[in-house]
DNA sequence: CGACTTTGACCAGCGC
DNA sequence: GCGCTGGTCAAAGTCG
């Protein structure tokens, strides 16, 4: 959403509104977003109040902006007048032609830019729409099971609240600080997936561990979730400015120069969450880098503590100023495993091959946003609960999505083979194939892929990569490569109805597991295609 | 020649 | 204050 803000506008005091080109698009995009908002049940997730106010304040400008679309050319002409009016008046055909060409060029550029913006706005719209769908689905289920859930908007974000009055399993994804293990315990994964340790007996009631739970404790002071292990002590001391600086980075030790001022128009906490949300993909890969459809430029390499393999830093070069970065590092325990960590959202249209992964990243950000609802004070703070991932220990399991700290990170672990057996399974039919949901015990803090789907189902939907993804998935067994799972993600969720069915099934399975499993761990639902492995 | 990689320097945060 | 660490910068080198 960075692009929504456009560049600083210049506004004359004499009533003449002087809008530079980029700002014009910012306004226009704002308008588009407002339209979408009206169509999308007034749910705003990534918008914040400041944006809202800005947009409302711009409402007048929006119309102006639209008019500018037509008047722009004329006004552009008029602004060009100073230099060109004489030449225009010369009525030399060549000059006219040149002027027209310039105009056409500019319009082409504008068109491209608009396309990109529209694309993103559409994506955001679908994200919100599908998120709402999921929420409603879950609400349905909760009503079935007698647990009332109330969703409300807090600071522009959806929050669900159980109304039963009991301490119930809430959405649990603690993005906050975790108690740091002894230094020696920090394994090679620490730098990527947080100081994730083996978790997690401190989760309270085991039942609470079931599923899709997300929780966010709130404090009253700090906003920053960034590297919370490091900074939490300082939060109270920070003034607003310094806090805003903190939000501007991919990891934040420094204020990255590529962050444009427009980013700071976003509410710090929102931007923080979006920027800091990471998707870490663990996959077996011989090559030094997985191909994910994007163009990357390496800008650094470091030896990370605890891992003999160097960590490489890449930034997206598909568009100038794209804030997306990724880190690539091999797993110390198993060097065939490549750990790729993505952060940020692209500010440009993506090729189909890149959509799935980018969607996953933005979905993660979205999930983190929705799962870490600010309390009434509108603040999000790290806390010291769980959210440790077992993925760090390379425990054998399924492809999983997990939440881990200190960075809000969703880890997609693709290194584990599909299950050979399961205690429970459910089949789902879909034109793209038959999918089987498997249940396997999993430590409570790990969020499985389908759980994640149910959490932000549909986020991947309606993207261009779906068909490609589907065909990829036909060829490759699940859990084989990052591409496959991305593909599966796109393929499965490209059909909203199927997504809904998937979510319902997962919810139902989880519900059963809850009632059947007293001493339970978390449930891991693996999605597999029939035939890829045998399900009992 | 532009795009990319390599690599040492630099910076900020943190712990001692 | 100092050293460690993660992250970034930027000059020099490489490649097509
Ligand atoms: Zn990008």
What does DSSP assign to residue A262?
A: G
Q: Which two tokens stand for residue A254?
A: 């420094």
Q: How far is the CA of A39 from the C1' of B16 (A)?
A: 56
Asked if the Cβ of residue A299 lies within 7 A of any atom of strand B, the reply is yes
CATH topology of domain A271-368+398-414: N-terminal domain of TfIIb (2.20.25)
Distance measured from the CA of protein residue A303 to the C1' of nucleotide B8, in angstroms: 13
A253: CB within 7 A of chain B nucleic strand = yes
For residue A192, give the nucleotide whose C1' atom is nearest its CA.
Answer: C6
**Euclidean distance between CA atoms A483 and A344, whole angstroms:** 19
ipTM of model: 0.95
DSSP character at residue A181: P
CA at A289, C1' at B5: how many angstroms apart? 14
- Could you tell me which of A228, A324, A280 has the C-alpha nearest to residue A412? A280
* Residue–nucleotide distance: A252 CA to B11 C1' (Å): 12
Does A118 sit behind a cis peptide bond, omega within 30 degrees of 0 on the bond before it? no
Residue A423 has which token pair? 């205690």
- Using CA atoms of A361, A367, A369, A372 in order, give the dihedral in degrees to the nearest 10: -140
pLDDT in the model for residue A430: 43
CB–CB of A298/A277 below 8 Å?
no
Nucleotide nearest residue A313, measured CA to C1'? C7
Q: How far apart are CA A141 and CA A122, in angstroms?
A: 28
Give the nearest nucleotide to A305, CA to C1'. Answer: C5
Q: What is the DSSP string of A430-471?
A: ETTEEEEEEEEEE-TTEEEHHHHHHHHTTTTTT-TTHHHHHH
Query: Among positive and negative, which fits the CA dihedral A365, A487, A438, A443?
Result: negative
> Contact, A507 vs A137, CB < 8 A?
yes
Q: Residue A129: what pLDDT?
A: 58
The shares of helix, strand and coil residues in chain A, as percent rounded to the nearest 5, are 45, 15, 40
Cα three-residue angle A122-A124-A126, rounded to 5 degrees: 70
Instruction: Give A363's contacts (C-beta < 8 A, 6+ positions apart).
Output: A127, A452, A456, A459, A460
Q: Can you give the pLDDT of all 536 residues of chain A as single tens digits?
A: 333 333 333 333 333 332 232 222 233 333 333 333 333 323 233 333 333 333 333 332 322 222 222 233 333 333 333 333 344 444 456 777 888 888 887 887 777 677 666 766 665 665 565 556 545 544 554 454 443 332 222 222 223 333 333 222 222 223 323 333 333 333 333 333 333 322 332 333 333 222 222 223 333 323 233 333 333 333 333 333 333 333 333 333 333 333 333 333 444 444 444 456 677 878 777 777 777 778 899 999 998 888 888 999 999 988 888 888 999 999 888 888 888 888 887 888 887 767 766 766 665 555 555 543 322 222 222 222 222 222 222 332 333 444 444 566 667 666 654 444 433 444 444 444 444 443 333 333 333 343 333 333 333 332 223 333 333 333 322 222 333 333 344 444 444 444 444 444 444 433 443 344 333 333 333 333 333 333 22
Residue closest to sugar C1' of B13 by CA = A253
Give the nucleotide at minimum CA-to-C1' distance from A251. C7
Å separating the CA of residue A507 from the C1' of nucleotide B2: 53
Contacts of A73 (CB under 8 A, 6+ apart): A103, A107
Q: How remote is the CA of residue A316 from the centroid of ligand 1, in Å? A: 5
- Residue A255 C-alpha to ligand 1 middle, in angstroms? 19
Predicted local confidence at residue A101, as pLDDT: 83
Neighbour order of strands in the sheet with A296-303: A296-303, A310-316, A325-330, A337-343, A278-284, A409-413, A400-404, A446-448
Model pLDDT, residue A410:
67
Report the pLDDT value the prediction gives residue A327, as an integer from 0 to 100: 92
Instruction: Report the DSSP beta bridge partners of residue A325.
Output: A315, A343
Token digits of residue A87: 């030449």
pLDDT for A307 equals 86
CA angle A437-A439-A443, nearest 5°? 135
């Amino acid at each position: 959403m960075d692009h929504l803000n456009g560049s600083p506008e210049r506004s004359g005091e004499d009533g003449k509104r002087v809008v530079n080109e980029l700002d014009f698009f910012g306004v226009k995009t704002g308008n588009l977003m407002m339209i979408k908002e009206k169509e999308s049940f007034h749910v705003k997730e990534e918008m914040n109040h400041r944006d809202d106010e800005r947009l409302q304040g711009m409402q007048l400008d929006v119309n102006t902006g639209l008019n500018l679309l037509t008047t722009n050319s004329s006004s552009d002409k008029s602004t060009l007048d100073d230099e060109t009016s004489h030449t225009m008046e010369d009525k030399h055909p060549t000059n006219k032609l040149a002027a027209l060409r310039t105009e056409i060029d500019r319009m082409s550029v504008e068109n491209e830019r608009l396309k990109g913006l529209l694309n993103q706005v559409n994506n955001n719209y679908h994200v919100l729409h599908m998120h709402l769908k999921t929420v409603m689905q879950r609400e349905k289920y909760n009503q079935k099971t007698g647990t009332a859930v109330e969703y409300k908007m807090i600071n522009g974000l959806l929050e669900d609240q159980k109304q039963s009055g009991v301490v119930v399993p809430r959405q649990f994804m603690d993005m906050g600080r975790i108690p740091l293990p002894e230094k020696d315990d920090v394994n090679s994964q620490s730098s990527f997936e947080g100081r994730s340790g083996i978790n997690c007996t401190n989760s309270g009631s085991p039942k609470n561990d079931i599923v899709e739970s997300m929780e966010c404790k709130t404090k009253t002071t700090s906003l920053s979730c960034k590297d919370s292990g490091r900074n939490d002590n300082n939060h109270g001391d920070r003034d607003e400015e310094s806090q805003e600086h903190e939000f501007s980075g991919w990891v934040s030790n420094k204020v990255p120069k590529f962050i444009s001022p427009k980013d700071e128009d976003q509410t710090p906490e929102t931007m923080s969450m979006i920027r800091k949300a990471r998707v870490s993909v663990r996959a077996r890969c011989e090559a030094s880098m997985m191909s994910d459809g994007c163009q990357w430029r390496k800008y650094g390499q470091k030896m990370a503590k605890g891992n003999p393999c160097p960590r490489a830093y890449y930034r997206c070069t598909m568009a100038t100023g794209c804030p997306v970065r990724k880190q690539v590092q091999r797993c110390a325990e198993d060097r065939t495993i490549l750990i790729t960590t993505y952060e940020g959202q692209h500010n440009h249209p993506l090729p189909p091959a890149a959509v799935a992964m980018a969607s996953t990243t933005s979905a993660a950000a979205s999930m983190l946003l929705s799962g870490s609802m600010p309390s009434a004070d509108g603040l999000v703070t790290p806390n010291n609960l769980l959210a440790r991932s077992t993925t760090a220990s390379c425990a054998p399991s399924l492809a999983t999505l997990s939440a881990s700290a200190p960075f809000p990170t969703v880890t997609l672990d693709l290194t584990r083979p599909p299950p050979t057996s399961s205690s429970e399974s459910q089949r789902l039919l879909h034109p793209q194939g038959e999918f089987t949901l498997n249940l396997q015990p999993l430590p409570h803090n790990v969020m499985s892929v389908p759980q994640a789907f149910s959490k932000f189902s549909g986020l991947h939907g309606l993207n261009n990569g779906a068909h490609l993804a589907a065909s990829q998935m036909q060829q490759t067994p699940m859990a084989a490569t990052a591409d496959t799972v991305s593909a599966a993600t796109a393929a499965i969720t490209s059909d909203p109805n199927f997504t809904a069915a998937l979510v319902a099934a997962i919810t139902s399975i989880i519900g059963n597991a809850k009632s059947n499993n007293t001493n339970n761990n978390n449930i891991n639902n693996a999605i597999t295609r029939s035939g890829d492995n045998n399900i009992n």
